[in-house]
Amino acid sequence: MKFLILNGPNLNLLGRREPEIYGHSTYAGLCREIAEYAENRGNQVHFVQSNHEGVLIDVIQQAGEDGTQGIVINPGAYSHYSYAIHDALRSVDVPAVEVHISDITAREPWRQVSVTAAACVKMITGQGLAGYLQAMDILEVHRK
């Protein structure tokens, strides 16, 4: 399977940004872990991280055209208010799973609702970096 691993704002700061919430692994470490997991399962991954909403939307739209078979997305704070990302996910025929490293349901009230999750087949929250691997597993099953 060909996966797009899409990360939104501030995820490039993993390991430095609030490690008590997001852990000590870096973004590069996350990418290595995902790439190794995918390779061991015969899958391909393409990574994109951006702090800009329009870039994320462009990449989602491109995924609908380039043979991507599943999107693993951590929209970061955009998940709480970006109907534009929601609409982009809905506009492509590629299933997506939303991932949040922390348990957003146990955080500040404004973080507890994700408007982008409604455009995804599932949302994984509070599983740390393992949530990304779980998302790929879900998309593999969803494809069958």
Q: Where in the chain does DSSP place strands (E)?
A: 2-7, 44-49, 70-74, 96-100, 122-125
Q: What is the mean pLDDT of the segment spanning 130-141?
A: 97
Q: Which of 22, 27, 78, 132 is catalytic?
A: 22
Question: What's the predicted TM-score (pTM) here?
Answer: 0.94
- 81 among known catalytic residues: no
- 22 among known catalytic residues: yes
Residues 6 or more apart whose Cβ sits within 8 Å of residue 36: none
pLDDT at 116 (0 to 100): 98
The pLDDT of residue 66 is above 80: yes
pLDDT digits (tens, 9 = 90+) for 13-38: 988 887 777 778 899 999 999 999 99
Q: Which of 27, 78, 86, 100 is catalytic?
A: 100
Residues 6 or more apart whose Cβ sits within 8 Å of residue 88: 56, 57, 60, 61
Q: Domain with 86 in it: what CATH number?
A: 3.40.50.9100
pLDDT at 107 (0 to 100): 84
Three-class secondary structure of residue 50 per DSSP = coil
Q: Give the span between the Cα atoms of 61 and 31, in whole angstroms.
A: 22
Q: Do 26 and 15 touch, CB atoms closer than 8 A?
A: yes
User: Which residue range forms the structural domain that includes residue 17?
Assistant: 2-143
What's the structural domain count of the chain?
1
pLDDT at 110 (0 to 100): 80
Rounded to the nearest 5°, which phi and psi values hold at 132? Answer: -65, -40
